[in-house]
């Protein structure tokens, strides 16, 4: 199990290195080169590739090499694509002046990364037994923050001191370590391949036919994500309103608060194994409420450095813990035959909710003010926790067979 978790850790971290670079590091570099905020906002649209990756997830469940490993064969291509996409950025030492090509390469990287995530999630579904799912998803969520820390933080430091080429080479070398892990990985033989492409695509809907899945996906997930996300969407504009420089905002929100998030992700995974999903969901919800209250001075125009950093750190830690629970239950509902499709479609709905949360939070703040939105977000998260507890009490129990889109029975939490 340690070897499996180590493999997943390496793949998840390297997956997010370039994403952290594109969303945080490259944005800072381009802004330093004079790129307008409107243009930077358009670059972030590349991230929309991630929520729609469920459209091609069934292809990864259906097709794969028997000789080289079903999902491993995909990873060999995709992890190589991540490395090559980063190396393709090397000649463009003045990215602000060559933005079109940079954006095209970054879009290719995000596509490779999103597709690699499908394959890694499918492997996790198949390899992780129930007691290890919390730890595995804790690693996944923590890895996203570590990737952002390295790609968005360390990469900018290297760029500032040594230039574009060393920064990109650092990312490429670290990502290549993931390729080495894939080469050494021996995927267990698969004997339950989906019968056909149509059956693989039917899993996009049949996953919701499992007991309690719609309750979880369309009840708990949107309440927690929209509640927490709408509150967090207020942070950056509130910091700007309080007079913080863009540099300080970037360091605090992109680097400093990543550390407690990484720790919280790992601890939440262990806590789920020991105390259960419900206990960690409650702990995360309570911590989110406390952190939001601590953010009220910022949201009313006062932002002392220490108090604000503490509040933001607690908020990110609490949000991460809740996120680990959501991912773990998503994995509970992911069936081995269609693990890539199931986990992807369930997590994609959460991503869509997160994107909507920012718009909802900012629009509501414009009309009602920051504090009112913060209070509303606490109410939504509290409702999400209550609905989640009801779900776990009713559906978290003995395993029983449930039909897959291909017609084969599997065991999922009943």
User: In this structure, are residues 241 and 371 in contact, taking their beta carbons and an 8 Å threshold?
Assistant: no
Non-local (6+) Cβ contacts of 147 within 8 A are 12, 13, 14, 15, 16, 17, 19, 20
- Whole-number Å distance between alpha carbons of 50 and 53: 5
Give me the helices (H) in 21-129, please. Answer: 26-32, 37-43, 57-62, 70-87, 99-127
The packing angle between helices 70-87 and 99-127, to 10°, is 160
Non-local (6+) Cβ contacts of 12 within 8 A are 120, 139, 140, 143, 144, 147
What is the CB-side half-sphere exposure of residue 108 using CA atoms within 13 A?
17
User: In this structure, are residues 8 and 125 in contact, taking their beta carbons and an 8 Å threshold?
Assistant: no
Residue appearing with tokens 């509501």: 364
Residue appearing with tokens 């952190």: 291
Exposed / middle / buried, residue 41 (Cβ in 10 Å: 0-12, 13-18, 19+): exposed
pLDDT at residue 214, rounded to an integer: 95
CB atoms within 10 A of CB 282: 18
pLDDT at residue 96, rounded to an integer: 82
Structure letter (DSSP) for residue 190: P
Largest CA-CA distance found in the chain, in angstroms, rounded: 61
pLDDT at residue 320, rounded to an integer: 95
Residue appearing with tokens 């994403």: 19
- Whole-number Å distance between alpha carbons of 392 and 381: 16
Taking the CA atoms of residue 240, residue 309, residue 384 and residue 135 in that order, the dihedral angle to the nearest 10 degrees is 130
Phi then psi for residue 402, to 5 deg, are -135, 135
pLDDT at residue 409, rounded to an integer: 39
User: In this structure, are residues 335 and 352 in contact, taking their beta carbons and an 8 Å threshold?
Assistant: no
3-state class (DSSP) for residue 253: helix
- DSSP labels, 53-84: GGGTHHHHHH--BTTTBHHHHHHHHHHHHHHH
State CA 47 to chain mean position distance.
11
- Whole-number Å distance between alpha carbons of 191 and 171: 36
Partners of 118 in the beta sheet?
none
3-state class (DSSP) for residue 231: helix
The packing angle between helices 277-294 and 258-275, to 10°, is 150
pLDDT by residue for the chain (414 residues), tens only, comes to: 567 788 888 889 888 888 888 877 787 788 777 777 677 777 777 878 888 999 999 999 999 988 888 999 999 999 999 999 999 999 998 888 888 899 899 999 999 999 999 999 999 999 888 888 999 999 989 988 888 888 877 888 888 888 999 999 999 999 999 899 999 888 888 878 887 889 899 999 999 999 999 999 999 999 999 999 889 888 888 888 888 876 788 788 878 888 999 999 999 999 999 999 999 999 999 999 999 999 999 988 888 889 999 999 999 999 999 999 999 999 999 999 999 999 999 999 988 888 888 788 888 888 888 999 999 999 999 999 999 999 999 987 544 435 554 444 343 443
3-state class (DSSP) for residue 308: helix
pLDDT at residue 166, rounded to an integer: 94
This prediction's pTM: 0.87
The b/e string for 293-322 (b: 16+ C-beta within 10 A; e otherwise) is ebbebbbeeebeeeebbebbbbbbbbbbbb
Partners of 401 in the beta sheet?
411
């Amino acid at each position: 199990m340690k070897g499996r978790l180590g493999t997943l850790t390496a793949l998840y971290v390297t997956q997010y290195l370039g994403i952290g670079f594109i969303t945080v590091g490259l944005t800072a570099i381009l802004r330093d080169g004079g790129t307008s905020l409107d243009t930077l906002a358009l670059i972030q649209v590349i991230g929309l590739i991630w929520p729609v990756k469920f459209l091609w997830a069934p292809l990864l469940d259906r097709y794969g090499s028997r000789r080289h490993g079903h999902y491993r064969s995909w990873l060999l291509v995709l992890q190589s694509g991540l490395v090559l996409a980063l190396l393709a950025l090397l000649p463009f030492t003045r990215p602000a002046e060559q933005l079109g090509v940079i954006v095209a390469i970054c879009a290719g990287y995000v596509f490779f990364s999103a597709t690699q995530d499908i394959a890694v999630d499918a492997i996790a579904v198949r390899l992780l037994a129930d007691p290890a799912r919390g730890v595995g998803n804790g690693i996944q969520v923590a890895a996203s923050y570590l990737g952002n820390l390295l790609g968005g933080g360390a990469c900018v430091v290297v760029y500032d001191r040594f230039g574009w080429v060393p920064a990109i080479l650092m990312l490429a070398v670290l990502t290549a370590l993931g390729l080495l892990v894939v080469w050494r990985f021996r995927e267990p033989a698969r004997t339950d391949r989906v019968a056909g492409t149509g059956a693989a695509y039917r899993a996009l809907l049949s996953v919701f036919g499992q007991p309690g899945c719609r309750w979880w996906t369309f009840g708990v997930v949107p309440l927690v994500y929209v509640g927490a996300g709408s509150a967090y969407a207020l942070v950056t504009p509130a910091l700007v309103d309080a007079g913080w420089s863009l540099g300080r905002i970037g360091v605090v929100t992109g680097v400093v608060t990543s550390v407690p998030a990484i720790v919280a992700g790992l601890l939440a995974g262990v806590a789920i194994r020991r105390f259960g999903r419900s206990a960690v969901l409650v702990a995360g919800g309570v911590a989110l409420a406390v952190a939001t209250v601590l953010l009220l001075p910022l949201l009313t125009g006062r932002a002392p450095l220490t108090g604000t950093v503490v509040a933001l750190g607690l908020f990110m830690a609490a949000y991460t813990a809740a996120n680990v629970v959501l991912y773990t239950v998503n994995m509970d509902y992911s069936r081995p035959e269609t693990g890539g499709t199931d986990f992807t479609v369930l997590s994609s709905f959460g991503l869509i909710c997160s994107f909507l949360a920012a718009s909802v939070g900012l629009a509501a703040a414009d009309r009602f003010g920051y504090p009112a939105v913060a209070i509303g977000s606490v109410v939504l998260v509290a409702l999400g926790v209550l609905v989640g507890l009801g779900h776990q009490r009713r559906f978290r129990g003995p395993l029983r067979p449930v039909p897959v889109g291909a017609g084969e029975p599997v065991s999922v939490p009943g």
